[in-house]
Amino acid sequence: MRVYISVDAEGCTGIFKLSQVMPENPAYEFCRRMMEGDANAAIAGAFKGGATEVVVNDAHNNGDNIRIDRLDKRARLISGKDRHFSMMEGISGEFGAAMFVGYHSRKGERGVISHTYYYSEIQEARINGEPVGESEINGFLAGSFGVPLAFLSGDQHITESIKAKVPGIRTAATKRAIGHASAECVNPEISWKMIEEEACAAISGLIRHSAAPLAAPPVRPMNDAPYLLEIRFATPGHANRASLLPGSSRISATEVGFNAADYRDVFRAFLCLVTLASTFRENG
Ligand SMILES: [Zn+2]
């Protein structure tokens, strides 16, 4: 089985505040080591569970955090900024399972550094009326290729939330979030052992019960264009920039919507809307 792993930073072992994941901060070196360590634990678990091939996508910031010479040599690594599928670059129907490592809660929810793609521009994203975060936005994309989400690691809030949505998913809580910038952490060796064991169980379980429906939950069918994406931005200025996208509609001062028949169009529209919004400067 081919396994796809998307690795973010904020949910990784030992990460408890934003400055640790910012490249200009001295603490960022620790962040890179934790991303590599969590990724390696997931890779080891996947191979132990029966994976034949593993592709890792460096999904944080500019995709230049994980160093190839520090990654398990059995895996291939996707790096870099210009990626049309962003945090999910490389996903395709050729994979038998997807794993999300170092993930975190959506903006507005409890959890360490909770946010949705951008830290301050987006207040909320909804698909068919349901608030969604990166795990759903990205998980639905894997689902659109028929790839089930088999494993997720992050703090206890995101692991609990995904277990309620994806039946049978295996998770590893790398820390206990206390606030937005505080957590009770364990030593990486303990966390990595847990990630490896759960990732192994996720893949071996999927291989044993290949018919088990572990795909991201389907969205509600509405009409010929069954996917409705809505984004509430921080300010009307951000929404104004975002609504430059053809086919989008301004719902309110701060909200922009996009309706499509194909989830992959929704995913790409999401990236367009947030990228456009991020060009807005309050005093620019
Ligand atoms: Zn993220």
Mean pLDDT of 73-79: 98
Report pTM: 0.95
Q: Which fold has domain 227-277?
A: Gyrase A; domain 2 (3.30.1360)
User: Average model confidence (pLDDT) for the chain?
Assistant: 93
pLDDT-derived band at 20 (thresholds 50, 70, 90) equals very high
135-165 residue pLDDT tens: 999 999 998 898 999 999 999 999 999 999 8
The domain segmentation of the chain, as residue ranges, is 2-122+133-208, 227-277
Give percent above pLDDT 70 in the chain: 94
Q: How far is the CA of 252 from the centre of ligand 1 (A)?
A: 26
Weakest-pLDDT range from 161-170, 180-189, 210-219, 265-274:
210-219
What span, in angstroms and rounded, lies between the C-alpha atoms of 193 and 45?
9
Q: How far is the CA of 60 from the centre of ligand 1 (A)?
A: 6
Q: How far is the CA of 223 from the centre of ligand 1 (A)?
A: 31
99-130 residue pLDDT tens: 999 999 999 999 999 999 999 999 999 998 88
Q: How far is the CA of 118 from the centre of ligand 1 (A)?
A: 8
pLDDT-derived band at 213 (thresholds 50, 70, 90) equals very low
Tell me the CA distances in angstroms from 243 to 26, 115, 235, one per residue in order. 37, 21, 13
Q: What is the pLDDT of residue 214?
A: 40
Q: Are 278 and 118 in contact (CB under 8 A)?
A: yes
pLDDT at 207 over 90: no
Cβ burial of 264 (10 Å; 0-12, 13-18, 19+) is: middle
- Tokens representing 222 are 């509405």
What span, in angstroms and rounded, lies between the C-alpha atoms of 187 and 170?
21
Give percent above pLDDT 90 in the chain: 85
Residues annotated as catalytic (active site), given as ranges:
115
- Tokens representing 200 are 């192994």
Mean pLDDT of 2-29: 97
Closest CA to 88 of 102, 73, 98, 97: 98
Closest CA to 232 of 277, 281, 266: 277
Mean pLDDT of 259-280: 94
Q: Are 97 and 203 in contact (CB under 8 A)?
A: yes
pLDDT at 77 over 50: yes
Q: What is the pLDDT of residue 224?
A: 58
Residues 6+ away with beta carbon under 8 Å from 25: 19
- DSSP letter assigned to residue 221: P
Q: What is the CATH number of domain 2-122+133-208?
A: 3.40.50.10780
Mean pLDDT of 51-70: 98
Q: What is the pLDDT of residue 221?
A: 45
Q: How far is the CA of 224 from the centre of ligand 1 (A)?
A: 31
